[in-house]
Structure 1
Amino acid sequence: MDALKSPRFAQPITFARLPLVRDLKGNGVLGAFVGVPFDGGATFYTGARLGPQFIRAESRLLRPYNMDLDVYPFIALRAVDYGDVDVIPTSVVRTLDRIEETIGSVIDQGATPFIAGGDHSITLGVLRAVGRRFKPLVLHFDSHFDYWDEYWGEKYTHGTWVRRAIEEGLIRGVIQVGIRGPQYDKSDLEYPRNSPVPIRVITMSEVDAKGINWLINELRNSLSGSVYVSFDIDSVDPAYAPGTGTREPGGFTSREALLIIRSLANINFELVGFDVVEVSPPLDTANITSLLAANITYQAMSIKARQVNKIAKG
């Protein structure tokens, strides 16, 4: 919707003011924004169930042309807002089934899903849909490992999805970026060495020592084939993204986060899905976390648009 004809504060709120559409195949849609308003997997502060609606609200500031990547992402993807998954607020297990079903439908209709959570437990449901079709490498931005086995005897939380995805054979490997902060035990560091799929951990201490350009080069040398990107907003320093439930000081700046995501456009791989999770509006300040999440999603859509344009040009 043209903001020069209809003001951004008018009309129903959708992501980037895109049309709300469910019939993707009939409309040739290649990219769909999907909300997953669920935080039943959170282990500390909640509120991420409100993430999708606040990310949509802040996304009204997005404009059609990405000058850094020289692409019109919404046009190239014929992008739409698909609406939300109908979650079950009291059940992680049943919600994961709903997510798998909905995202599977999006993929089957020919579109790449761009997802807003919700806490990080939702990514397991997404990967059940994506992973059974592509078995991707997962590029995981986070301050936490998320490969713990259980919390209080519960196997499905926002801190266990990586291990469950590996156990279910959904992914071929994981690259974790931004890990930092105190851990429960030194033994927490052992899981990647015994994992049945490769896990590469890039800590913030390593990024601090070697620099952002080094990190971008490492990703350039590591990504290939089908890749799913999962971006936990707490990989960003809470000074720039305070609206999240398990904050860890010492993360990326908002500029660094956008630069890193944008740099993926120059790497030869296929983006098969993307999520930004753990945005908790009740903990936010002036909606700056939701605004950043909207812009990160925009950059991810732009990456996919570049890939689509490249294929179209042969």
Structure 2
Amino acid sequence: AVNGIDIESIGVNDVGDISIFPGSLTRSLSRIEYVLRNIFKKTNRRVIIIGGEHTLTLASFRAYAKNYNDSCIIAFDAHMDLRNEYLGSRYNHATVMRRIFEKEKNAKIIIIGARAVSREEEQFYKNINEKNNIKVFRIIGDEVKVDEINSIENEISTCKNKYISIDIDILDPSYAPGVQTPEPLGLSPYTLLKILNRIVDINTYAVDLVEMTPIYDPSETTAFISAKILIELIAMMSEVVGLSVKRCW
């Protein structure tokens, strides 16, 4: 990893896939929440979830919030995902943060990198009374100023138990073309990792990475980038919790 940690010296346990119910979103979300709730309950290990369409975060974060009080979800996303419905459905990648806001009233939602926002989402964000519950940091392009990163870090410092959700479309399509809803003027992998390195700490207990879409990724560029981000996150998390690991330098 870039911080010098030998990733092979970190103990990682792959617990396998969660079986879902094709054609039944409700049952699938219930299964995801049930399995992850038990995982969070039985272990104090850090958990990494790999998706999948972003709707799964509704289930995984609800499981997280039931086990960790004062939970905060930090979403890296090109979109706010605050629509009430999209294409006739209230449960999909464009509505997931709206549903989390409704169902987890005590949770704080921080959205980083939104650069494609609908009029509906903008109006909703302006009108909500619970201003402390949702905070959006818009980032256009890859030139993120130091004071912007400081503002993000200061906002996140108020969070007690952190869940990080990375929609891979946070990256510019030149780096990650294999997504459902690509949006130009995104972050580079380096900038994303730089921000993550500032916010991952001992209170970061879960991370998901979602929206990597193999059918749109014939070169596997997005898959390689996603894997690299996960490797770096594992190294960051192992370092902040003080694991005894080997270093390459």
Question: TM (normalized to structure 1)?
Answer: 0.69
1:131·1:170 contact (CA, 8 Å) conserved in 2?
Answer: no
Superposition pairs of residues 252-267 of structure 1, within 5 angstroms: 252-265=187-200
- Once superposed, what is the RMSD of the aligned Cα atoms? 2.3
Deviation of the 1:106 alpha carbon: 1.8
Counterpart for residue 241 of structure 1: 176
Provide the C-alpha distance between the structure 2 equivalents of 1:73 and 1:306, rounded to a whole number of angstroms.
Answer: 11
Give the gaps of 5 or more residues in structure 2.
245-249
Q: 1:126 aligned to 60, 63, 68, which one?
A: 60
Q: 1:195 to 1:205 in 2, by over 3 A?
A: farther
Q: 1:219 aligned to 152, 158, 176, which one?
A: 152
Q: 2:237 aligned to 274, 299, 304, which one?
A: 304
Q: Secondary structure at the match of 1:178?
A: strand
Amino acid corresponding to residue 98 of structure 1 in structure 2: R
Counterpart for residue 277 of structure 1: 210
Provide the C-alpha distance between the structure 1 equivalents of 2:16 and 2:46, rounded to a whole number of angstroms.
Answer: 14
Superposition pairs of residues 4-19 of structure 1, within 5 angstroms: none
Provide the C-alpha distance between the structure 2 equivalents of 1:131 and 1:170, rounded to a whole number of angstroms.
Answer: 10
Q: Secondary structure at the match of 1:80?
A: coil
Q: 1:112 aligned to 34, 41, 46, which one?
A: 46
2:61·2:73 contact (CA, 8 Å) conserved in 1?
Answer: no
Q: 1:206 to 1:173 in 2, by over 3 A?
A: farther
1:233·1:244 contact (CA, 8 Å) conserved in 2?
Answer: yes
After superposition, what is the alpha-carbon deviation per residue over 1:38-86, rounded to whole angstroms, capped at 9, x for unaligned?
xxxxxxxxxxxxxxxxxxxxxxxxxxxx3x334445645x211111110
Counterpart for residue 166 of structure 2: 231
After superposition, what is the alpha-carbon deviation per residue over 1:127-173, rounded to whole angstroms, capped at 9, x for unaligned?
11101111411111111111111124422111111111121126521
Provide the C-alpha distance between the structure 1 equivalents of 2:16 and 2:194, rounded to a whole number of angstroms.
Answer: 28
Provide the C-alpha distance between the structure 2 equivalents of 1:69 and 1:254, rounded to a whole number of angstroms.
Answer: 15
Q: 1:258 to 1:90 in 2, by over 3 A?
A: same
1:270·1:307 contact (CA, 8 Å) conserved in 2?
Answer: no
Provide the C-alpha distance between the structure 2 equivalents of 1:195 and 1:75, rounded to a whole number of angstroms.
Answer: 47
Deviation of the 1:217 alpha carbon: 1.8
Q: Secondary structure at the match of 1:164?
A: helix
Structure with bigger gyration radius: 1
Of all paired residues, the percent bearing the same amino acid is 28
Q: Secondary structure at the match of 1:84?
A: coil
Superposition pairs of residues 1-314 of structure 1, within 5 angstroms: 66=1, 68-72=2-6, 75-76=9-10, 78-110=11-43, 111-134=45-68, 135-169=70-104, 172-181=107-116, 183-185=117-119, 187-193=120-126, 194=128, 196=130, 197-205=132-140, 208=143, 211-224=144-157, 225-265=160-200, 268=201, 270-309=203-242
Amino acid corresponding to residue 57 of structure 2 in structure 1: T
Question: TM (normalized to structure 2)?
Answer: 0.86
Provide the C-alpha distance between the structure 1 equivalents of 2:58 and 2:129, rounded to a whole number of angstroms.
Answer: 17
Residues 273-282 or 221-230, more deviating: 221-230
Provide the C-alpha distance between the structure 2 equivalents of 1:73 and 1:101, rounded to a whole number of angstroms.
Answer: 30
Q: 1:138 to 1:254 in 2, by over 3 A?
A: same
Q: Secondary structure at the match of 1:143?
A: coil
1:176·1:202 contact (CA, 8 Å) conserved in 2?
Answer: yes
Q: 1:291 to 1:94 in 2, by over 3 A?
A: same
Provide the C-alpha distance between the structure 2 equivalents of 1:298 and 1:112, rounded to a whole number of angstroms.
Answer: 13
After superposition, what is the alpha-carbon deviation per residue over 1:179-198, rounded to whole angstroms, capped at 9, x for unaligned?
113x442x421223405352
Amino acid corresponding to residue 234 of structure 2 in structure 1: M
Q: Secondary structure at the match of 1:81?
A: coil
